[in-house]
Structure 1
Amino acid sequence: MTEKITVTHRHGEKITVEALGVELLSYVYKPDPVAYESQKPYAHPIRTLQGSPVSGYRPSDHRWHKGIQMTSSHLSGQNFWGGWTYVPGDWYQDLPDKIGRMRHDGFEDFTVEDEKLTIRERLTWIENGGEHWASEQRDIVVHSVEPEEGSWALDWSIRLTNLRDEPLRFGSPTTAGRELAGYTGLHWRGPRDFGGGEVFGPDGAEEMMGKQAPWLAFVGEHDALDAKSTLVFAHAPENANAIHESHWFVRSDVTPMVAISWAFFEEFGLPPGESFSYRYRVIVADGGWDSGRVEVYLKSHGWD
């Protein structure tokens, strides 16, 4: 049985979703004050139905990591990720004049149902000098709050349109020369106690860095709570026909994070006036799930 949700909108700041007395998610669209961290909306805090925290915010090693965000680390010479910029031959450099931002322009749809929240947001991607490079339509859906499953789901989609009169070039630190550093695209940073967490895909526990798979799961164990939580990141079926193939970027030892990288090994270009789209699902669950349970869940929860 699906549980009802409560939605609170603090206008100009954030949207909060609660169920069973727990704040499951806050979607913050008021820009943080530090331009160096690439100002953009993000989802944090994120919690399981039992209230266990499963997102990190401004960790000391990467202050620009904030829950779940849409990012683009290498975009036509600009950094829409935040923080250090990877420079071929010079490792990471502090280049504040390369840091872009994503501006919240408004909501085209804001629908609250008993068991689901649907929002459609308009954003503009702005390079460091103030030029508008891209417009984005972002759809976020919170749904499937199911106590019996011990889980709830977040769908996040992007449709990005090039506003420039030249192609936008999407890359990553790996396309710039750093091995196995393909982070870009939708990115999740876990809490520090998830360091050393278990990562697996459809074929079980294996090295998933740079691999392709329809889904990836991350199981972390909490400090103090005597509990584990699982996050499952999944591609929508239409991503198989997206502008560019995606690979998983994942770390679990010191900096627990997952990115669904759309430009891990190769750059791709978006011509002027054209658009691309991706859609993803994040399942937030109490307990340590295994691949069998993930598969059963995904088969029983289809895509609209």
Structure 2
Amino acid sequence: MKLYSYVFLLGILFVLGSCGFGTADSGSKKNNQPTWKWEQTDKSLTLLNGENRILWRLNFDSEQDKPYFHPLRTPKGYNLTLERPKDHPWHRGLWFSWKDINGVNYWEEDPDKGVAEGRSIVKSVSIDKYKNFSAKITLHIAYEEKGIALIEEERVVEIGSPQNTEDYTIKFHQRFEILEDIRLYLEKPAKHGGVEWGGYAGLSFRASDSLVGHQFTTSSGWVNNDDITGYGEKERWMDMTAKVMGSEDYVGLTIFDSPDNPRFPSPYYVWFAKGEHAFFTPSILFDGPMDLNKGESLLLNYLVLVHDGKRSNEQLRQFENF
């Protein structure tokens, strides 16, 4: 009788194990939670949710320069990013790019060549994937003009786990080693709107055209729903929340500037027109160029919050000291 009970118990444990119980880190469904899995190539790392639906993809094709996130979706599966729109084909979802280094354009690509005059070349990529479906990606990037490297960057991107949550974070840790005397520059920007262009460089976000009813909110309490080119006030963070077209759901993305960054807090630049485009960036060069000498280092840190639903200022302030 005891032997029968022991065999019966082993049978039950085997069935439970086969069904995936007790393997929360494996990515299997439990309590209606999504199934997660990785997809990795020599050009990208992707986290898939459910039946091959992309939650996020970090693209790092060495032939295209400038690594970027697209698609970038919320935990509920709503896409936030727009890749290479016709109005600005150099906009790449969520990405980092300098605008002008020593008078050379690193921002706008030549439509025939597919790359900018100044190259931001991905030299190597190292990937660590974890059981809770967070990840750490280390990229080495060389900023070159005519084959001569002016800057070498080590960029560590840490992406938080999306499990059992309505948001997740992406942290950018960037170290720029200056190989030659340089000036980081951008055009004179508009402030509080206007007709002047410029003000954009650094970590930038171009919102999906599937979003409507955009609202921009900042750490100082500024709230804006109207068309604007500019802004220029110093903020610890800026959030863009919008409604998903054809639904009643809201989604958003927040960029936090680090207190450790030079010129903290940076002015934020917004380019927004209803029904046309939504873009914003913490603009470290908004108030003027930055001169760096050979042998110096520049350190930058940012946090991005990807969220479903709306977030109050109090909720967002909890991420300030990341």
Same-fold call, TM cutoff 0.5: yes
1:286 corresponds in structure 2 to 308
- 1:106 paired with 2:124, answer yes
The letter for the 2-side match of 1:172 is: L
Give TM-score, length-normalised by structure 1: 0.81
Task: Give the unaligned 5+ runs of structure 2.
Answer: 1-23, 28-35, 225-229
Aligned partner (choices 241, 247, 251) of residue 267 of structure 2: 247
The letter for the 1-side match of 2:158 is: V
- 1:55 paired with 2:89, answer no
Q: Deviations over 1:248-304 (max 9, x none)?
A: 112232321111211012111110121101110111011122323322x426xx53x
> Are the counterparts in 1 of residues 122 and 142 from structure 2 also a CA contact under 8 Å?
yes
> Are the counterparts in 1 of residues 220 and 235 from structure 2 also a CA contact under 8 Å?
no
The letter for the 1-side match of 2:239 is: A
Aligned partner (choices 257, 262, 282) of residue 284 of structure 2: 262
SS at match of 1:266: coil
Go from structure 1 to structure 2 and tell me whether the alpha carbon gap of 1:176 and 1:210 turns closer, same or farther (over 3 Å shift): closer
- Aligned mates of 2:162, 2:69 — CA distance in 1: 17
SS at match of 2:235: coil
- 1:161 paired with 2:192, answer no
- 1:134 paired with 2:148, answer no
| Offset at residue 245 of structure 1 (A) | 5.9
2:253 corresponds in structure 1 to 231
Go from structure 1 to structure 2 and tell me whether the alpha carbon gap of 1:176 and 1:215 turns closer, same or farther (over 3 Å shift): closer
> Are the counterparts in 1 of residues 235 and 265 from structure 2 also a CA contact under 8 Å?
no
- Aligned mates of 1:69, 1:175 — CA distance in 2: 20
- Aligned mates of 1:195, 1:138 — CA distance in 2: 32
Aligned partner (choices 85, 107, 124) of residue 142 of structure 2: 124
Q: Which has the larger radius of gyration?
A: 2
2:67 corresponds in structure 1 to 41
Instruction: Report the aligned-residue RMSD.
Output: 3.0
- 1:68 paired with 2:101, answer no
- 1:9 paired with 2:9, answer no
> Are the counterparts in 2 of residues 170 and 263 from structure 1 also a CA contact under 8 Å?
yes
Go from structure 1 to structure 2 and tell me whether the alpha carbon gap of 1:97 and 1:27 turns closer, same or farther (over 3 Å shift): closer
Bigger RCO of structures 1 and 2 (CA < 8 A, at least 6 apart): 1
The letter for the 2-side match of 1:65 is: H
Task: Give the unaligned 5+ runs of structure 1.
Answer: 34-38, 85-93
